[in-house]
Amino acid sequence: MKQLLAVGIIALVLLMAACSDKPVAPEQLPEPIKAFIQQNFPGQTISYAEKDAELTGSKYDVVLNDGSRVEFDTDNVWDKIECPLTNPVPTALIPAPIVAHLQSQFPNALIVKLDKERYGYEVELANGLEMKFNKQGVLTEMDD
């Protein structure tokens, strides 16, 4: 019984070590991630990338030379985008109903964070205002 427990603990330790974040060269990123960066952040280069091995696949965290950060899920689809004031989140990535709401209520606001959640999206503006939208793009919560 003690041997079985020891083997289990060793396996758990090895598994946890394998699931740690590891730097990855930009050219080693999956093609969908590289294509996403080129299409949505033209002129930006990848300054740092990290791979997080999970049991279900790998997640990636990419930092661009302007300070923008994009997190990708195990399907290589963006999950969270954080951008500096100088280069806010590209409008093309924001669902149209959210863009329409923000343009009507906050016409000059810059979006610095867009985060996909189970319920929809979390948006943060440069002025610190945080909003939650459901999957249909309807505002459900606002916090300053």
Q: What is the pLDDT along the chain (144 residues), one digit of tens a residue?
A: 666 554 555 554 445 545 568 999 999 999 999 999 999 999 999 999 999 998 889 999 999 999 999 999 999 999 999 999 999 999 999 999 999 999 999 999 999 999 999 999 999 999 999 999 999 999 999 998
The two beta strands, 130-134 and 120-125, are: antiparallel
Total structural domains within the chain: 1
Domain annotation covers residue 3: no
pLDDT digits (tens, 9 = 90+) for 1-36: 666 554 555 554 445 545 568 999 999 999 999 999
Beta bridge partners of 70: 62, 81
Residue 64 pairs in a beta bridge with 46
Contact 141, 129 (CB under 8 A): no
Q: Note the pTM of the prediction, 2 decimals.
A: 0.84
Whether residue 16 is contained in a domain is answered as no
Question: How far is 84 from 131, CA to CA, in rounded Å?
Answer: 18
Contact 67, 84 (CB under 8 A): yes
Tell whether 2 is covered by a domain. Answer: no
Is residue 62 a part of any domain in this protein?
yes
8 A C-beta contact, residue 105 and residue 99: no
What CATH number does residue 132 fall under?
3.40.1420.30
- Whole-angstrom distance, CA of residue 120 vs CA of residue 41: 23
What pLDDT is stored for residue 21 in this prediction? 85
